[in-house]
Amino acid sequence: MGRNPCCSKDEGLNRGAWTAMEDKLLTDYVKTHGEGKWRNLPKSAGLKRCGKSCRLRWLNYLRPGIKERKYHS
């Protein structure tokens, strides 16, 4: 029992670093439709990413009001 995987590894999904265009697509989609339904978001927004990846990108990097990380050496 349990959930089906949100995406298949064979679907040709992008992995690794996000591009500025992908960030813009994700940000525009969330501004228009709101947060939630992350499993359906990639296809609706035109992204070749997993829903989990989109959710984490939004929550950890793109969400308005998130504090910028500053590293001190």
Give the Cα separation of 1 and 12 in Å (integer). 27
Give the Cα separation of 5 and 56 in Å (integer). 16
Give pLDDT, residue 51: 93
* Chunked mean pLDDT (size 10), the chain, 73 residues: 69 89 97 93 93 94 80 60
Give pLDDT, residue 18: 96
Give the Cα separation of 44 and 51 in Å (integer). 11
Domain ranges within the chain, ordered by starting residue: 36-64
Give pLDDT, residue 57: 95
How far lies 39's CA from each of 29, 47, 53, 57, 73, in Å? 13, 12, 10, 14, 39
| Helix, strand, coil content of the chain in percent (nearest 5) | 40, 0, 60
Give pLDDT, residue 33: 95
